[in-house]
């Protein structure tokens, strides 16, 4: 019984993370959906990604005193985290739509 409750909590957490992800990163759900040109949507998504990576790099350097940490490292770390999540999300969507057999 405890395992089922833990599984339910885990599934709700995953659903919440996915909803948050889509609200920020998926142009079908975030306000960038009002821009009809996909290339412009991609441009703004990339620009926001770089901006936030730089911001977190500065936070790590200044507030956390990570002296060997820099903005390019922040961008690389963010890419290393986001790319597998994006690939997983894509595969899950394709599987749900029946495009993977």
Give the residue-averaged pLDDT of 3-8: 85
Domain assignment present for residue 69? The answer is: yes
Domain assignment present for residue 66? The answer is: yes
Threshold 0.85, pTM exceeds: no
- pLDDT per residue as tens digits for the range 30-53: 788 888 888 888 888 888 888 888
Could you tell me the residue range of the domain that residue 25 belongs to?
2-96
Q: Is the dihedral of CA 30, 55, 75, 83 positive or negative?
A: negative
Number of independent structural domains in the chain: 1
What stretches of the chain show up as alpha helix (H) in DSSP? Answer: 2-25, 38-62, 71-96
Domain assignment present for residue 101? The answer is: no
């Amino acid at each position: 019984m405890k395992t089922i409750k833990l599984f339910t909590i885990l599934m709700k957490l995953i659903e919440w993370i996915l909803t948050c992800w889509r609200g920020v990163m998926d142009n079908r759900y975030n306000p960038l959906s009002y821009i009809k040109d996909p290339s412009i949507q991609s441009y703004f998504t990339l620009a926001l990604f770089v901006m936030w990576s730089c911001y977190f790099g500065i936070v790590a350097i200044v507030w956390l005193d990570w002296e060997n940490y820099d903005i390019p490292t922040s961008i690389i770390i963010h890419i290393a985290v986001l790319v597998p999540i994006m690939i997983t999300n894509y595969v899950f969507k394709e599987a749900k739509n029946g495009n993977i057999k």
